[in-house]
Chains A and B, each alone.
Chain A
Amino acid sequence: MSLLSVSGLEKKFGGVTAIAGLDFKVDPEIIFAIIGPNGAGKTTLFNLLTSIYTPTAGTVTFDGHDLTRLKPFQIAKLGITRTFQNLQIFLNMTVLQNVMVGCHLRSRCGIFEAAFRLPSVLKEEKRVREMAMEALEFCGMQDIANRDASSLPYGVLKKLEVARALAAKPRMLLMDEPAAGLNDTETVSMSKLIRDITSSGVTVLLVEHNMGLVMDVSDRVLVLNYGELLSEGTPQEIQCDPRVIAAYLGE
Chain B
Amino acid sequence: MKRLAGFYILAAVLIATGLIFPDSYYVTVVGVTICTNAVLAVSLNLLMGYAGQISLGHAAFFGLGAYASAVLTTKYGTNPWLAMLAGVGISGTLAFVLARPILKLKGHYLAMATLGMGIIIHIFFVQADWITGGPDGLSGIPEISIAGLAINNDIRWYWVFGGLMLFTTWISLNIVDSRPGRALAAVHGSEVAAQMTGVDTASVKAQIFVVSAVIASVAGSLFAHQQAFVSPESFSFFFSIELVTMVVLGGLASTFGAIFGAVLLSILPEFLLVFEDFEVLIYGAILMIIMIFLPEGLFVSGSRIVTGWLKKRELSTQ
Contact = CB atoms under 8 A, between A and B. Distances in A.
Interface string B165-208: 00000010011011111110110111011111111110000011
B175 A109 contact: no
**Max chain B Cβ within 10 angstroms of own Cβ: one of A71, A111, A125:** A111
Contact of A90 (B178, B180, B189, B198): B189
Interface of A: 50, 52, 71-73, 75-77, 81-82, 84, 88-93, 97, 100-102, 104-105, 107-111, 114-117, 121, 124-125, 128, 164-165, 167-168
Contacts of B199: 73, 101, 104
Contacts of B207: 111
B211 interface: yes
Contact of A124 (B179, B183, B190, B197): B179
| B interface: dominant SS | helix
A72 B196 contact: yes
B248 interface: no
Nearest to B174: A117
Nearest to A111: B180
B27 interface: no
A168 B193 CA distance: 13
Contacts of A90: 185-186, 188-190, 193-194
B54 interface: no
Contacts of B198: 73, 76-77, 81, 104-105, 168
Contacts of B189: 89-93
A52 B182 CA distance: 22
B8 to A, nearest CB: 15
A65 to B, nearest CB: 15
A129 to B, nearest CB: 11
A128 to B, nearest CB: 7
Given A88-B196, A105-B198, 6 more contacts: A52-B192, A72-B196, A73-B201, A115-B175, A117-B178, A165-B197
Given A89-B190, A104-B197, A115 B171 contact: yes
Given A73-B198, A115-B174, A84 B211 contact: no
Given A73-B198, A73-B201, A92-B253, A104 B183 contact: yes
Contacts of A50: 196
Nearest to A102: B197
Contacts of B211: 111, 115
Contacts of A116: 171, 174
Contacts of B195: 52, 71-73, 76
A114 B193 contact: no
Nearest to A149: B189
A115 B207 CA distance: 12
Contacts of A164: 193, 197
16 contacts: A50-B196, A52-B192, A72-B195, A72-B196, A73-B195, A76-B198, A81-B196, A88-B193, A92-B185, A92-B253, A93-B185, A101-B182, A104-B182, A108-B179, A164-B197, A165-B197
Contacts of A168: 197-198
A102 B183 CA distance: 10
B181 A114 contact: yes
A132 B168 CA distance: 29
Nearest to A109: B179
Contact of B179 (A82, A91, A107): A107
Given A76-B198, A114-B174, A116-B171, A128 B179 contact: yes
Contact of B178 (A75, A102, A114): A114
A101 B178 contact: no
